[in-house]
Amino acid sequence: MMSLTEISFVEVVRKQHAFKLKSYGGVFTSLVMIQFIALLFSFGASGGMGSSSGSISYEISYYSGWIIISFTYLWAFITAILITTKAYRNDDFTFVSNRLTSNLSNIFFLLTASLIGGVTALLASNVIKLLVVLFYDLDYVIGASLTIQDFFIGLLSTTLYIFMFTAAGYLVGTLVQLHKLFVIIIPAVFIGGLFVDVGQFQLISRISEFYVAEASFLLFVIKSVITVVLLFLTSIVLSNRLEVKQ
């Protein structure tokens, strides 16, 4: 009996996840659009410098996929907020489900979306470089070749960053569903965090440094997985209160 219950629970989550992948097409339409816009922005250099010495002068423009990756973070954050809204929650009523299966299927959907976002963001970064090399009038191209190992490190870390943004967005969305006052509180806390000093650094910089300054890939994976688990766990606990409230 116990095993039957477990199977049906897993089955419900699996079916909801499959349903969401099929029916939340707008999420992927918006991903394609936002990455396309970011691609256009990235086609201008992300930085540059110039200098001259004697009869030699040079200008160097730098290109990378950081705009695409940043836009994908934004997309992930907003998508996660949106799927906590009633408009999406009502879809779950088409299944025999409870709050937990709904949350878990959402989390798996966000994980899948993060992976898709990570892969496409990294591939789109290559596309910028291709367009630069093909269409710009250049004398020289400098840079290091991307190895397969680099690509997979980038793929996993970008996906984890995006997944962290979805986890943060999911928590923000859940809080806002819990009480509208959070629409004011959350941005206020964020803006405050930009200025409040912790030690010698601002709170937000301190938090982001905890991840971006981590040079060990293994430690980064551990940090981000723990963060994601904590954020989603908090959201699940809070969303149970939401159900009681409604």
Instruction: Assess 238 for contact with another protein (CB under 8 A).
Output: no
Q: Which is nearer to another protein, 97 or 173 (CB)?
A: 173
Question: How far is the C-alpha of 6 from the C-alpha of 34, rounded, in Å?
Answer: 39
Q: Output the CA torsion 61→132→154→71 (10° steps).
A: 80
Residue closer to another protein by CB (options 7, 191) is 191
Tokens of 9: 């629970």
Q: How many residues bind another protein (CB under 8 A)?
A: 93
- Which 27-46 residues touch another protein, going by CB under 8 A? 27-32, 35, 46
Q: Is 178 in the site for another protein (CB under 8 A)?
A: no
Closest CA to 10 of 110, 101, 107: 101
Chain residues 207-226 in contact with another protein, contact rule CB under 8 A: 212-217, 220
Site for another protein in 139-158 (CB under 8 A): 139-146, 150-151, 153-154, 157-158
Among 2, 5, 86, 93, contact with another protein (rule: CB under 8 A): 86
Q: Is 161 in the site for another protein (CB under 8 A)?
A: yes
Shortest Å, Cβ 1 to another protein = 38
Rule CB under 8 A: is residue 103 a binding residue for another protein? no
Work out how close the CB of 6 gets to another protein at its nearest, in angstroms, rounded to a whole number: 30
For the chain, give the longest Cα–Cα distance.
85
**197-198 and 201-202 beta bridge pairing:** antiparallel
- Angstrom distance (rounded) from CA 131 to CA 124: 11
Query: Is 244 a residue that touches another protein (CB under 8 A)?
Result: no
Query: What is the residue-wise DSSP string for 20-50?
Result: HHHH-HHHHHHHHHHHHHHHHHHHS-SEEEE
Residues 105-124 contacting another protein, CB under 8 A: 116, 119-120, 122-124
Burial class, 43, CB count within 10 angstroms (exposed 0-12 / middle 13-18 / buried 19+): middle
